[in-house]
């Protein structure tokens, strides 16, 4: 070590060893940053992480970091729990069929108020407050998701539940020129102007497909797909499409995990390279997912 720095034992608040270790981390990240620079990652935010300001802040900081190093994060969000609270105020009990909310007109109004309004604006403002740039893309600004009523099973009517058939990718991709993170709520508009409630997992899938995203990451409030849904230790780190289908038909994967896994399977068939379900409550899970070889959570592969 040169004499001139022999006596340096602190740099700012850190010991010399700590400062060098931080610099090493940056150098290690360089390869990953190069690999993903310019690549699109669609991130689906949902579940109770949207209700926890601390957890949410760390996720949004990860998103801002990604954007700052030249990656292209695109946020698609749900907000099922916030919708339930809104409905409870009007005395409406939530009604789900295989993970999708049966949506009559009063329910649709509540969904739109929460998803396309409050939550969409809040997430965008939070990104800006934390030092990033973002643009909310909703019916109130510029809608980018278009579709139609979902007819999943002919004998079943879920009301105003939609499926996305077209995504305005020009608007989404155009935002990267102004360093803005697109923030998209899970609702779509039909040809006749009718608004529909879309499951946020399937909305994220449609966006990832339309953009030809490199990665689609579902941030949830479980650590991944589990053999026993109540036991985090039974997480399955790597799941083949065939096994995922088997776990759905045997009932191991049920409720809200069904649309998530179905969305993964559908996406993999359409060119998106990697699909992960990870725990948004684990601090920096998004960065760990991108900047480590093994990743965290469950990866579903073809
Ligand atoms: N095999 C499984 N592994 C993990 N979670 C499961 C499984 N089957 C059902 N689930 C349920 O799926 C939920 C995640 O779906 P959901 O609540 O819709 O999440 P989000 O709101 O994040 O989209 C978990 O909280 C869990 O209760
Ligand atoms: C049709 C349908 O089920 N729409 C969902 C949209 C929100 C969502 O999916 O939110 P999470 O990702 O937080 O679960 C709903 O009404 O709850």
Q: What would the pLDDT profile of 259-294 be if each residue is shown by its tens digit?
A: 889 888 888 878 788 889 999 998 988 988 877 766
- Tokens matching residue 254: 């049920």
Mean pLDDT of the chain: 91
Are the CB atoms for 42 and 201 separated by under 8 Å? no
Centre of ligand 1 from the C-alpha of residue 10, in Å: 46
CA of 224 to the centre of ligand 2 (A): 18
Choose which residue among 81, 229, 245, 253 to substitute to test ligand 1 binding: the one with the highest number of ligand atoms within 8 A of its C-beta: 229
Which residues neighbour 124 within 8 Å (Cβ) at sequence distance 6 or greater? 134, 135, 136, 183
What confidence category does residue 207 fall into, taking pLDDT thresholds of 50, 70 and 90? very high
Query: For residue 1, is pLDDT > 60?
Result: no
Q: In the prediction, which pLDDT does 4 show? A: 58
Q: Helix, strand, or coil here: 130?
A: coil
Q: In this predicted structure, what is the pLDDT of residue 205?
A: 93
Q: Which residues line ligand 1 (CB under 6 A)?
A: 46-47, 78, 80, 201, 220-222, 225-226, 229, 252-257, 260
**103 alpha carbon – ligand 2 mean position (Å):** 11
Query: What is the rounded average pLDDT of the residues 195-214?
Result: 95
Query: What is the pLDDT confidence band of residue 12, given thresholds at 50, 70 and 90?
Result: confident
What's the Rg (C-alpha) of the chain?
21
**Least reliable range by pLDDT among 10-14, 44-48, 132-136, 243-247:** 10-14
**What is the pLDDT, as a whole number, of residue 183?**
98
Query: According to the model, what pLDDT value does residue 144 have?
Result: 98
**Distance between Cα 200 and ligand 2 center (Å):** 5
**Measuring from atom 14 of ligand 2, which residue has the nearest CA?**
80
Binding site as annotated, residues for substrate: 79-80, 101, 197
Judged against a pLDDT cut of 70, whether residue 17 lies above it is answered with yes
Interatomic CA distance for residues 28 and 65, integer angstroms: 16
Ligand 1 atom closest to Cα of residue 228: 1
Give the separation between CA 54 and CA 29, rounded to whole angstroms.
Answer: 25
Start-to-end Cα distance in the chain: 51
Q: Say what the pLDDT of residue 208 is.
A: 94
Segment 128-145 shows an average pLDDT of: 97
pLDDT given at position 36: 86
Residue with token string 């690549």 = 39
pLDDT at 289: 82
**pTM for the model:** 0.91
pLDDT at 22: 85
Between 301 and 56, residue with greater pLDDT: 56
User: If DSSP codes are grouped into helix, strand and coil, which group holds residue 289?
Assistant: helix
CB 42 within 8 A of CB 216: yes
Cα(255) to centroid(ligand 1), Å: 7
* 14 Ramachandran zone, left/alpha/beta (phi>0; psi -120 to 50): beta
**Which amino acid residue places its CA nearest to atom 2 of ligand 2?**
199
CA-proximal residue: ligand 2, atom 5 (nearest): 199
The residue that leads in pLDDT, 118 or 266, is 118
Residue nearest to atom 7 of ligand 2 (CA): 78
- Write the CA distances from 254 to 102, 180, 199, 201, integer angstroms: 17, 36, 15, 14
Nearest CA to ligand 2 atom 6: 199
Closest residue CA from atom 17 of ligand 1 = 256
Ligand located closest to 84 CA: 2
Show the ligand 2 pocket: residues with CB < 6 angstroms: 46-47, 78-80, 83, 100-101, 111, 161, 186, 197-200, 256
Q: Could you give the CA distance from residue 267 to residue 300 in angstroms, rounded to a whole number?
A: 10
How much distance in Å is there from the Cα of 222 to the middle of ligand 1?
Answer: 7
pLDDT at residue 124, as a whole number: 98
- Ordered by where they begin, the domains of the chain are 1-36 (no CATH), 38-301 (3.40.1160.10)
Distance, in Å, from the CA atom of 232 to the CA atom of 245, rounded to the nearest integer, reads: 21
CA distances from residue 219 to 96, 161, 215, 282 in whole angstroms, order as listed:
21, 22, 13, 10
Distance CA 77, CA 162 (A): 15
């Amino acid at each position: 070590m040169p004499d001139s720095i022999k006596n340096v034992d602190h740099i700012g608040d850190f010991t010399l060893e700590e400062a060098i270790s931080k610099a090493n981390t940056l150098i290690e990240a360089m390869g990953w940053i190069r690999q993903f620079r310019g690549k699109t990652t669609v991130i689906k935010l949902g579940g109770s992480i949207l209700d926890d300001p601390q957890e949410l802040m760390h996720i949004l900081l990860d998103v801002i970091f990604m954007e700052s190093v030249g990656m292209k994060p695109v946020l698609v969000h749900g907000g099922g729990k916030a919708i339930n609270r809104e409905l409870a105020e009007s005395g409406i009990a939530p009604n789900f069929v295989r993970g999708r909310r049966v949506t009559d007109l009063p329910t649709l109004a509540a969904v739109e108020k929460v998803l396309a309004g409050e939550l969409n604006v809040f997430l965008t403002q939070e990104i800006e407050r934390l030092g990033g740039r973002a643009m909310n893309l909703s019916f109130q600004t510029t809608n980018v998701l278009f579709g139609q009523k979902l007819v999943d099973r002919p004998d079943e009517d879920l009301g105003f539940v939609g499926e996305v058939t077209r995504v305005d990718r020009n608007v989404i991709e155009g935002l990267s020129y102004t360093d803005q993170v697109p923030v998209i709520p899970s609702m779509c508009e039909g040809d006749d102007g009718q608004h529909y409630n879309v499951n946020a997992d399937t909305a994220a899938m449609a966006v990832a497909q339309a953009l030809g995203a490199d990665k689609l990451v579902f941030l949830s409030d479980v650590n991944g797909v589990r053999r026993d849904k109540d036991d985090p230790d039974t997480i399955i780190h790597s799941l083949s499409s065939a096994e995922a289908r088997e776990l759905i038909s045997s009932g191991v994967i049920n409720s809200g995990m069904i649309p998530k896994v179905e969305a993964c399977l559908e996406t993999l068939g359409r060119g998106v390279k990697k699909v992960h379900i990870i725990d948004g409550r684990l601090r920096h899970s998004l960065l760990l997912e991108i900047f480590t070889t093994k990743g965290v959570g469950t990866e579903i592969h073809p």
